[in-house]
């Protein structure tokens, strides 16, 4: 390793030196010729290079798109995601046209009007008509994009009255470096939480009031479970620092802020099985996964990620997301879960007894 590094470094220095000698020689030659201020030859070479860059660049864009677009995220798996993807594509169309045209004109002009013997620049300082035209065209295009964008934007954030009553609600609380997911359980009611030192402890970071009946059947699974075509409201929060709740396949993203509740409302449209079926027809997903020995599409899963820098393990806040085919399948899963309260009851009693003891001691100390 040391040797290769040293050799690499030497080769690099040599390369720099050779470049430098060439550069110096060509410079000296032009001084000797007396045309240090003459750029005709350089303009000819550079003009051709600029044109070559344009052509090869455009080809590379097409070529790389063919390779990498199939690797991008699959089609949106939510109602609003389909809309934002459509908006993306419309914008891409406008922008693609502008991009290609302006780059072509820019590099073509660079080559076409390169300095040449006998060429004289054309004194042309302004044209108000042109300015008006190329102010109005972008203004009109932007207006179209703003109107379409805002229509979509407002449709994504309905008020609570506009959301259907029978929605699925999930509470997700982010912390370094984990997600705490809570479902209301069979009673359909979340156990209340209290931001208070009497409730918050290492075993109860959320400050859930366990003595409340509504708390006792809440489910806190290690994955997020959704139902296909079921309106879903995710209530978001964070304990320590900022996090961001990101479901890439559903085009869902919302920050989790300590002390400030946020939420995101969406409707998943493709179950996990649906998405596998879609991907099973795509070439990119036919590759054999080394770990499972099966085609990639068979091990497809939806995932939750964090997209707001939250500390050194920010990149590891992964959680699986499962979209059930229908409500019934979801209920089957939910019924099989043990409410979180049941699983911690034993330790909880122990802890609360200790806490009470500590409290009594302090009270005793104070009264003394």
What is the footprint of another protein within residues 116-155 (CB under 8 A)?
116, 119-127, 130-131, 134-135, 138-139, 142, 145-146, 149-150, 152-154
Give yes or no for residue 244 binding another protein (CB under 8 A).
yes
Ranges within 97-116 binding another protein (CB under 8 A): 98-99, 102-103, 105-107, 109-110, 113-116
Give yes or no for residue 71 binding another protein (CB under 8 A).
yes
Give yes or no for residue 33 binding another protein (CB under 8 A).
no
Contact between residue 254 and residue 247 where contact means Cβ atoms under 8 Å apart: no
Contact between residue 320 and residue 224 where contact means Cβ atoms under 8 Å apart: yes
Q: How far is the CB of 235 from another protein (least distance, A)?
A: 11
- Coil, helix or strand at residue 351: helix
Residue nearer to another protein on the CB measure, 115 or 327: 115
Ranges within 155-174 binding another protein (CB under 8 A): 156-157
Give yes or no for residue 313 binding another protein (CB under 8 A).
yes
Residue nearer to another protein on the CB measure, 91 or 337: 91
Residues near 163 by beta carbon (within 8 Å), at least 6 away in sequence: 231, 233, 265
Reference 303, options 185, 182, 179; nearest CA is 179
Among 70-78, 212-220, 267-275, 357-365, which window interacts with another protein (CB under 8 A)?
A: 70-78
Give yes or no for residue 363 binding another protein (CB under 8 A).
no
Measure the CA–CA gap between 99 and 263, rounded to whole angstroms.
37
Contact between residue 303 and residue 318 where contact means Cβ atoms under 8 Å apart: yes
Q: How far is the CB of 283 from another protein (least distance, A)?
A: 13
Reference 223, options 354, 78, 117, 321; nearest CA is 321
Q: How far is the CB of 303 from another protein (least distance, A)?
A: 5
Q: How far is the CB of 334 from another protein (least distance, A)?
A: 25
Give yes or no for residue 204 binding another protein (CB under 8 A).
yes
Q: How far is the CB of 110 from another protein (least distance, A)?
A: 5
Ranges within 45-64 binding another protein (CB under 8 A): 46-47, 49-50, 53, 57, 61, 64
Residue from the set 51, 58, 79, 87 that interacts with another protein by CB under 8 A: 87
Q: How many CB atoms lie within 10 A of CB 204?
A: 17
Residue from the set 32, 166, 197, 336 that interacts with another protein by CB under 8 A: 197
First-to-last CA distance in the chain? Answer: 71
Ranges within 257-286 binding another protein (CB under 8 A): 257-263
Residue from the set 77, 174, 219, 310 that interacts with another protein by CB under 8 A: 310
Give yes or no for residue 292 binding another protein (CB under 8 A).
no
Residue nearer to another protein on the CB measure, 27 or 277: 27
Measure the CA–CA gap between 299 and 21, rounded to whole angstroms.
57
Residue from the set 316, 353, 356, 358 that interacts with another protein by CB under 8 A: 316
Contact between residue 253 and residue 308 where contact means Cβ atoms under 8 Å apart: no
φ, ψ of residue 52 to 5 degrees: the values are: -65, -40
Residue from the set 10, 11, 18, 22 that interacts with another protein by CB under 8 A: 22
Residue from the set 172, 224, 226, 252 that interacts with another protein by CB under 8 A: 252
Residue nearer to another protein on the CB measure, 217 or 244: 244
Measure the CA–CA gap between 238 and 206, rounded to whole angstroms.
10
CA 145 to chain centre: 22
Structure token digits, residue 195? 């931001």
Measure the CA–CA gap between 28 and 102, rounded to whole angstroms.
38
Contact between residue 232 and residue 254 where contact means Cβ atoms under 8 Å apart: no
Reference 163, options 74, 267, 243; nearest CA is 267
């Amino acid at each position: 390793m040391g040797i290769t590094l040293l050799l690499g470094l030497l080769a690099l220095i040599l390369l720099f030196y050779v470049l430098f000698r060439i550069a110096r020689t060509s410079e000296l030659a032009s001084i000797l010729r007396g045309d240090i201020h003459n750029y005709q030859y350089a303009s000819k070479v550079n003009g051709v290079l600029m044109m070559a860059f344009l052509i090869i660049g455009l080809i590379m864009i097409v070529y790389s798109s063919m390779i990498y677009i199939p690797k991008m995220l699959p089609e949106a798996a939510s109602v609003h995601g389909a809309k934002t993807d459509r908006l993306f594509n419309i914008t891409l169309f406008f922008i693609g046209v502008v991009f290609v045209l302006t780059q072509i004109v820019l590099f073509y002009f660079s080559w076409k009007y390169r300095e040449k013997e006998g060429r004289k620049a054309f004194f042309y300082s302004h044209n108000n008509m042109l300015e008006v035209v190329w102010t109005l065209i972008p203004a009109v295009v932007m207006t179209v994009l703003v109107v379409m964008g805002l229509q979509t934007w407002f449709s994504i954030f309905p008020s609570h009255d506009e959301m259907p009553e029978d929605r699925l609600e999930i509470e997700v609380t982010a912390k370094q470096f984990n997600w705490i997911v809570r479902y209301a359980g069979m009673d359909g009611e979340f156990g209340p939480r209290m931001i208070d030192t009497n409730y918050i402890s290492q075993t109860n970071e959320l400050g859930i009031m366990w003595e409340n009946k509504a708390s006792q059947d809440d489910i806190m699974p290690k994955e997020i479970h959704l139902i296909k075509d079921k309106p879903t409201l995710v209530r978001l929060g964070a304990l320590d620092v900022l996090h961001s709740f990101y479901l890439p396949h559903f085009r869902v993203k919302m920050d989790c802020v300590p002390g400030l509740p946020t939420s995101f409302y969406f409707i998943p449209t493709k179950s996990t099985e649906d998405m596998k079926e879609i991907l099973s027809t795509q070439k990119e997903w036919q590759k054999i996964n080394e770990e499972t020995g099966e085609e990639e599409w068979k091990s497809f899963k939806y995932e939750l990620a964090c997209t707001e820098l939250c500390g050194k393990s920010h990149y590891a806040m992964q959680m699986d997301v499962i979209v059930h085919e229908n409500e019934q399948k979801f209920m089957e899963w939910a019924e099989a879960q043990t409410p979180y309260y049941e699983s911690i009851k034993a330790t909880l009693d122990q802890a609360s007894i200790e806490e009470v003891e500590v409290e009594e001691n302090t009270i005793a100390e104070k009264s003394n």
